[in-house]
Amino acid sequence: MWFFSDEEKQIQKVCRDFAKKELAPKAEHHDNEETFNLDAFKKMGELGLLGITSSPDYGGAGLGATAATIVMEEFGKACAGSTLSYLAHTILCVNNINSNASDIQKEKYLPKLISGEHIGCMGMSEPGFGSDAVGMQCKATKAKDGYLINGNKMWITNAQYADVVYLYTRTGTEKNDLTTFIVEKGTPGFSVSKEIHKMGMRSSPTGELSFQNCKVSETQRVGGEGESTIHMMKNLELERITIAGISLGIAQACVDQCIKYAGERKQFGKNLAHFQMIQKMVAEMASETEMLRRFLYTVCYEYDHFKKDNVLASMVKLELPKRATKIALDAIQLHGGYGYSREFPLERMMRDNKLNEIGAGTNEVMIMIIAKNLLKDALRT
């Protein structure tokens, strides 16, 4: 994009090279085996990418949504599953701690999370509460010298590998009485109770967290009791913008694969690039992808420099994943039987992207947020 800073351009190059070398060659293997590319994840820490939005005081890069989204796009082209785990660690755990925790908590947790020595996750969704996140029932009750946590968290990315959980709990009877704790692996009463197998994003580990009289101290509470709803909503804006970057990467990878295939595959004595229907499909996919890119990075720029807008974050979260799924399906169609087979990466890209229409707020929830803001005056009458 024309407004990328020199530093952002350098990050783009570093991430593009890393993705080609460390993510793309192993993407199919990790998808087939449902395994996590832990080696690549650790190398992301060596490159300084695991604290992309966090303070340099703790080893972070101190950059914004634009830089984070660049990483998501470049990694998403190669292996969306690994990128989702990167997002869960960097945006959902590390960024939250950097934004909301005390200096003592930051000093304790951020350096190891940013270096890659530790892996993080966030516990928000529950078995009965996904879109209605503030309805969560995982409870933290006052106990001697701390709190006892009881409940379960579902669909947690990085659950099986996490050393640190940024955990939302209920501490009161009102809907917004939510309080956050940082829970460490090995804490008595805390376990990963279930591994979840998925249609896509199979190289991103997902599990259920269980808390049974899990004792935590007051020093592990982030902020005061009942302060977490606003923290959650602010971080959701950044999550929705950056997860759209993964969809942009998938869309671009589909376009690149179609251009390559159209020049190689022959039918009726000439390659596919000569057929007007193929030309139409490639032109439309490429145009739509570029439109999405400019929409997304414009929102990133405004988020970093002018305003943080929940409606715009919801719009990119709605449109990027939805349209990337269409682009992936069109790419499969262009490839015919090869597109439907696992010989080509397109079916994996389509499966992976479908998660982006569900996680971080479903398409339907995004529509509700956008519509309620646009129609707020009319809804009062």
The CATH classification number of 229-376 equals 1.20.140.10
Query: What is d(CA 204, CA 324) in angstroms, rounded to the nearest whole number?
Result: 19
Supply 235's token pair: 């971080």
Q: Is the pLDDT confidence value at 280 over 90?
A: yes
pLDDT tens, residue by residue, 223-275: 999 999 999 999 999 999 999 999 999 999 999 999 999 999 999 999 999 99
pLDDT of residue 307: 84
CATH hierarchy code of domain 6-119: 1.10.540.10
- Report the pLDDT averaged over residues 9-18: 98
Question: How far is Cα 141 from Cα 211, in angstroms, rounded to an integer?
Answer: 12
How many Å apart are CA 20 and CA 303, to the nearest integer?
29
* Catalytic choice (239, 319, 347, 357): 239
- Cα end-to-end distance, the chain, whole Å: 43
User: Of 22-26, 64-68, 126-130, which gets the smallest average pLDDT?
Assistant: 126-130
pLDDT score of 1? 87
Q: Over 90: is that where the pLDDT of 371 sits? A: yes
In the DSSP assignment, the letter for residue 143 is: E
Do strands 178-184 and 221-222 pair parallel, antiparallel, or not at all (unpaired)? Answer: antiparallel
The mean pLDDT of 210-228, rounded to a whole number, is: 97
208 is catalytic: no
Average pLDDT value for the chain: 97
User: Is 381 a residue whose pLDDT tops 90?
Assistant: no
Domains in the chain: boundaries: 6-119, 122-228, 229-376
For the CA atoms of 144, 147, 151, 152, the dihedral, rounded to the nearest 10 degrees, stands at -140
Q: From CA 327, how far away is CA 350, in angstroms rounded?
A: 9
Q: Which pLDDT score is estimated for 259?
A: 98
Burial string for 147-183 (b: 16+ CB within 10 Å, else e) reads bbbbbbbbbbbbbbbbbbbbbbbbbeeeeebbbbbbb
d(CA 54, CA 111): 10
Do the domains spanning 6-119 and 122-228 agree at the CATH topology level?
A: no
Distance of CA 224 to the CA centre of its chain: 27
Q: What architecture does CATH give domain 122-228?
A: Beta Barrel (2.40)
pLDDT for res 167: 98
The C-alpha atoms of residue 185 and residue 189 are separated, in whole angstroms, by 10
